[in-house]
Amino acid sequence: MRIIIVYVLIFWISLEFVCAQENGFTRDPARAEFILEDLHRFWTAFDAMEIRDENPFETYINSGTTGLQDFVPNRIVSAENLLEKVRQRKADYLKMRHFTFAPETMLPYYQKLKEWYPYVQFPPVYFVIGSFNSGGTASDRGLIIGVERLEDAANLPFLLIHESIHFQQNRLDRQYTLLEQAIVEGSADFLAELITGTLANPTLYRYCEEHQDRLLREFVQEMDRFDYSGWLYNSGSEDRPKDIGYWVGYKIAASIYAKNTDKQLAINRILNNTDYLTLMKESELFNEFLTPRVANVAPFPNDCGEVDASLTELTLHFEQPMHGSSFSPLREDQIAFPLVDIIGYSEDMKSFRLKIKLEPDKRYGFKVTGKGFKNELGYPLEDYEVRFSTR
């Protein structure tokens, strides 16, 4: 048995080494690469744009690094687009003319990331200048930082760790729902904060904490959409800041981390568990908003004291679609149990009809329970007592 365990351990260590070698990315924080050569090419093109007839950013892009090539689609777009943007925002670009970066400053953060997540890989980091529409991204070939978007170079360690987290995340090859994308972005913020000690977005998060119940309730209603507007990558408004979805995902990741005594295991799950709905449920942040409830009963209101004894049906209306069923008597003196049979659900699964048998001048009651009634996410119904009296 010991020999088998040793062989398995050797196999996994070897496999980890092979995987790291196959993509060429080091697992050693001290050997991480930071590539800044595209910056020199950009400023060469910048200085030439008013003295050349041709677009100098063609050369910038065509002779650029792998990172710059990966930054062109959906960001730089084209040399023509970049030239137009530079002319529009020339003064803003010049603010970053003397940007410098000392690679050794990242070593302690990379070392801490490896301590928390031993399987980490450190892809090369490319510093480029784009069209003022992306501060950073991760491709299969490395991390890419859009230097022109760096409002404060002191936040660079946070940004690099945030993008490094994206590189480690296990991702599904399909479009993500709002919930899934919020967890992807927010967990990167949480882990970057854990490693660097820098708060992700103090102004945004302060607003969200002050309006937590409202925002979580709204999010639950929209989390299955593929439209991120109002939550991610948006411009915001006077009464609602942008990127609230980052905060939602941050809260989910922070809650999972706090609830687990094995912190390394918690981080591993945050990075690799692609069952995002399970992560959301484990956070327990949404229990209040996801717990289904009875909206009302019909054809009479609950606690009615003037129910017609000739009625033979009662309908439960739920706030959301349900499945299953369970009822129990109230077990109180002089409270009769009126149910005699089940008719079943409506087509939209939000109503449930019951057959009842009543007698005049009598008190009735029963409990609708979460033992059988559950919503589509598996959350049990909040118990609800139905009481009424006949005339």
Tokens of 144: 């890419």
Judge if 328 and 273 occupy the same domain.
no
Q: Which residue has the tokens 């070392």?
A: 111
Judge if 274 and 160 occupy the same domain.
no
Task: Show which of 255, 290, 325 is a domain's final residue.
Answer: 290
- Buried b vs exposed e over 161-174: b needs ≥16 C-beta within 10 Å? bbbbbbbbbeeeee
Judge if 155 and 260 occupy the same domain.
no
Q: What is the pLDDT along the chain (391 residues), one digit of tens a residue?
A: 434 443 444 334 344 434 444 467 999 999 999 999 999 999 999 999 988 889 999 999 999 999 999 999 989 999 999 999 999 999 999 999 999 999 999 999 999 999 999 999 999 999 999 999 988 888 889 999 999 998 878 889 999 999 999 999 999 999 999 999 999 999 999 999 999 999 888 999 999 999 999 999 999 989 999 999 999 998 778 789 999 999 999 999 999 999 999 999 999 999 999 999 999 999 999 998 889 999 999 999 999 999 999 999 999 999 999 999 999 999 999 999 999 999 999 999 999 999 999 999 999 999 999 999 999 888 899 999 999 999 9
The pLDDT score that the predictor gives to residue 281 is: 92
Tokens of 58: 């063609």
The pLDDT score that the predictor gives to residue 23 is: 63
Judge if 342 and 266 occupy the same domain.
no
Q: Which residue has the tokens 């687990």?
A: 260
Task: Show which of 290, 308, 341 is a domain's final residue.
Answer: 290
Residue type, position 218, single letter? E
Judge if 116 and 234 occupy the same domain.
no
Which domain, by its residues, includes 310? 292-390
Judge if 134 and 225 occupy the same domain.
no
The pLDDT score that the predictor gives to residue 156 is: 92
What stretch of H or E contains 295? strand 294-298
Judge if 181 and 219 occupy the same domain.
yes
User: Pairing relation of β-strands 34-35 and 351-356?
Assistant: unpaired
Distance CA 143, CA 157 (A): 13
Model-level pTM?
0.78
Judge if 159 and 48 occupy the same domain.
yes
Distance CA 250, CA 146 (A): 23
Judge if 181 and 328 occupy the same domain.
no
> 71, 128 in Cβ contact below 8 A?
yes
Judge if 121 and 251 occupy the same domain.
no
Q: What letter does residue 65 receive in the DSSP assignment?
A: -
Q: Look at the chain and report how many structural domains it folds into.
A: 3
Task: Show which of 244, 262, 290 is a domain's final residue.
Answer: 290
What stretch of H or E contains 125? strand 125-128
Judge if 181 and 145 occupy the same domain.
no
Judge if 98 and 2 occupy the same domain.
yes
3-state secondary structure 197-251: CCCCCHHHHHHHHHCHHHHHHHHHHHCCCCCCCCCCCCCCECCECCCHHHHHHHH
Distance CA 94, CA 86 (A): 10
